[in-house]
Structure 1
Amino acid sequence: MTRGIALLGLAYVLSQFFRAFLAVLSPALRADIGAGPEDLAFASGLWFFAFAAMQLPVGWALDTIGPRRTAAGLHLLGAGGGAAIFALATTPLHIDIAMVLIGIGCAPVLMAAYYIFAREYPPARFVVMASVMVGVGTCGNLVASYPMAIAAETIGWRASLWGLCAITSLTALGIWTVVRDPVRPEGEARGSLLAVFKIKALWFIFPIMAVSYAQVGALRGLWIGPYLEDVFAADAHRIGLATLLMGSAMVAGTFAYGPLDRITGSTKWVVISGTTLNLVALFGLILYPSGSLFLAILLMAAIGFFGATYAIIMSHGRSFLPPHLIGRGMTLLNLCSIGGVGVAQFLSGRAYAASQPALTPQAPYVVIFTLFTGLMLAGLFVYLFARDTRH
């Protein structure tokens, strides 16, 4: 099981990479195939929508056929095949198709690991294990930053994608070989999606789940690159370093949040506190969008750190799920999270387009930052009424 979890962790590293690497490739893709910021926002949004659309089928598959076949099959055909199409792309449409397939292939890997955690380990250990998994996986953000920029400049973005195709395919084959499905107790009740929706406590968690990762994923996965390029004339190396710093902050934030609910005795107020500090950083970008490159990168890193609440919010929702609803319940929560990023990507792309022609280089990005702030405030307001989980 340890080797299987390690391989699922590697697959999740790749999942984090694929949702974030477009920001670094934006200059090359604009020059080679004419894919501008709006095109990449659309392609990135397709990744998140494909990922989100697969969550309910993945939840059914986890509860029915187990994590081994679910994760291995989709990761091989979707992520491996999508990386190959990306490497062959000659138009923005090809990027769209590739990102849809990659989103489908990445959809099951984290939920497969969470399903195993929930089935094989005590509930009290779930939040720490979930945070470690996300923290390790978020290292994919680091690889998608400066190292990816160097690889694209050294061997080209097409050769880099072929290498990723090979790594992804081998990881999927490894999952098929070594992951062991948890044993279901005899006579266990069969769950349904309707039963999950009947758990009223989750309805106050769905909104914060939908917005908490939306702005982090959208900024780190796409907008940080065009923002720094347009406002501060940053080159690929500086963008790569900035995304590396933001990705490192996301990893640090995930590990920092992991034990806090046990230390403070409250899951809910850890999330509220972190989200409030996240909003402070967003307001900083709105008020000082062109202050300095250093300040912009610092605020982006703060958003990455304080916005790393995914695992602890997931743990909050997990605490209300009975065993027979774990697969469907966790994937529904994940659908809210990833679907929220997809919506944010599409809305931010439309906001960017609507802001053209812009009076100043920073004007479209102020609109985008304001959009993300409004979404966060709405989600936080609903979450204030959520039932807490005490430790």
Structure 2
Amino acid sequence: MEVRIETKQEKPLNIGRKFRWTVVIWLLIGGIINYLDRANLSIAAPEMMKELGLSVTEIGLLGTFFSWSYALMQLPSGWLIDRFGTKKVYTIALIWWSGATILTGAVHKMSSFIAVRILLGVGEAPCFPTMAKITSYWFPKKERGLATGIWDSSSKWGPAIAPPLLVFIMVTFGWRALFYITGVIGIIFAIGFVIFYKNPEKSKKLSKEEFEYIKSEGGGVEQGIQSSKIKWGSLFKYRSVWGMILGFFCTIWIWNIFLVFLPLYLFDVHHVSLKEMGIYAGIPWLGGIFGNIFGGYLTKKWVDKGITTPIKAKRALISICAISAAIVVCAVPLVKGLAITLTLLTLALCFISAITGSAWALAGDIAPPSMVASVGAIQNFGGYFGGAFSPVVAGMIVDATGSYSLAFISGGLIAGCAAICYWFIVKHPIQE
């Protein structure tokens, strides 16, 4: 691993209240709502299959249509965020995807389910690129990994909270109530975000000292794409961008399998009851939460101690975790017993989550300030466009073989390839 020894830097000024971390909490909550609205399908799947006669392949297909629309909308959403601003685009997106979630509970045919899942993907697309952009101007570079790890852990808090909460709702009110309730929560949050959120230069709650601290390492002001000297289309000419695209594809391939099939895997293979699933299906996502936050903490510590640069810290963490995830995921179908299976699933999500958090933070290091959302969205496009195939491929494997083994082993091997992409292809930031 490449390292750089630096002289010890002076400690930053005492900046008093750290209001920037309050912004992270808002991003965390928004991300949790985002993932509740996509994870509710995996919770509702057994009852939907029973009532509507859907197959495992058809459930996987719904996940694939969501991922395709989500991936394709990454490209315009990143440009829209950089062009029109984070607050405006994020608020519209919140209301859009919450409405699509409510509609999901009202439809009855497979074609209608496909349509609303496509609408959900369109609405959810701007969420994480917006968060990456907000982080880039609310935090100095050395803190972006930790801040990103916190809000990106929302993608694990959502599935962790979903099983006990949504199973209770489903058992009490029926599976359609899952979609109605989570949709309404999203609309309420959108109203709160509009009232609360302001950019750093306009925030009255941000002290002058904290604002100067944020500005000292490249943050402070949201920059629009119109001020950039680089054309949006030329981003695809950069080697580092392609490394991020390919690396995120490898990561999201196995991520989508976990997101769509983890509760069903426990239900089918380990015969976990619907009520027990509310506990057991949430346990592995706790490992994801830890991986997200601790991974961001590690990269910050490596930079604070002068071991390496922010970019190299993230690339190293991603590479180590990708290899570890590959080993653990491949071992899942080879063990017997619920306890050891849950342990391996928890470890796998810990490593995978550390990758996703650092990958999103890496967008702020690789992209120029005016194009952070665009580069983050392009990376996410690569991940979800390719990863969109994994739920339907996994569903076809399960239906054809009667086993999840090949789906996990192939997914683990693909996840391991992320190490090659992020370490050997992603190298240098884009210079304006």
TM-score (norm 1): 0.88
Q: Percent identity?
A: 15
5+ residue gaps in structure 2? 1-18, 200-220, 303-307
- Secondary structure, aligned partner of 2:107: coil
Aligned partner letter, 2:254: Q
Give the Å deviation of 1:387.
4.9
Does structure 1 residue 328 correspond to structure 2 residue 346?
Answer: no
Match of 2:89 among 62, 70, 83: 70
Question: Who wins on radius of gyration, i.e. which is larger?
Answer: 2
| Partner Cα distance (2:300, 2:27) in 1 | 26
Match of 1:294 among 324, 339, 349: 339
Aligned position for 1:344: 390
Give the Å deviation of 1:191.
4.2
Does structure 1 residue 272 correspond to structure 2 residue 319?
Answer: yes
Q: Is the 8 A contact 2:157 2:289 kept in 1?
A: yes
- Report 1:231-246 matches (<5 A): 231-246=269-284
Q: Is the 8 A contact 1:275 1:307 kept in 2?
A: yes
Does structure 1 residue 16 correspond to structure 2 residue 35?
Answer: yes
Moved more, 146-155 or 226-235: 226-235
Aligned position for 2:253: 214
Q: Is the 8 A contact 1:10 1:137 kept in 2?
A: no
- Report 1:45-64 matches (<5 A): 45-64=64-83
Give the Å deviation of 1:242.
2.1
Aligned position for 1:189: 228
| Partner Cα distance (1:105, 1:185) in 2 | 22
| Partner Cα distance (1:105, 1:217) in 2 | 18
Aligned partner letter, 1:247: W
Structure 1 residues 315 and 353: CA distance shift in structure 2, 3 A: same
Give the Å deviation of 1:33.
1.8
Structure 1 residues 388 and 192: CA distance shift in structure 2, 3 A: closer
- Report 1:137-216 matches (<5 A): 137-180=155-198, 183-184=222-223, 188-189=227-228, 191-216=230-255
Give the Å deviation of 1:167.
1.1
Aligned partner letter, 1:42: L
- Report 1:100-115 matches (<5 A): 100-115=118-133
Cα deviation, 1:244-296, whole Å, max 9, x if unaligned, reads 101111111111101212334332222121112211211212423xx112222
Structure 1 residues 199 and 28: CA distance shift in structure 2, 3 A: same
Q: Is the 8 A contact 1:85 1:94 kept in 2?
A: no
| Partner Cα distance (1:242, 1:192) in 2 | 48
| Partner Cα distance (2:51, 2:130) in 1 | 37
TM-score (norm 2): 0.81
- What number of residue pairs does the alignment pair up? 379
Q: Is the 8 A contact 2:82 2:224 kept in 1?
A: no
| Partner Cα distance (1:4, 1:263) in 2 | 22
- Secondary structure, aligned partner of 2:272: coil
Aligned position for 2:305: none
Give the Å deviation of 1:213.
3.2
Give the Å deviation of 1:61.
0.7
Give the Å deviation of 1:384.
3.9
Give the Å deviation of 1:388.
5.6
CA RMSD in angstroms comes to 2.5
Does structure 1 residue 224 correspond to structure 2 residue 243?
Answer: no
- Secondary structure, aligned partner of 2:425: coil
Moved more, 65-74 or 181-190: 181-190
| Partner Cα distance (1:185, 1:90) in 2 | 43
Q: Is the 8 A contact 2:37 2:182 kept in 1?
A: no
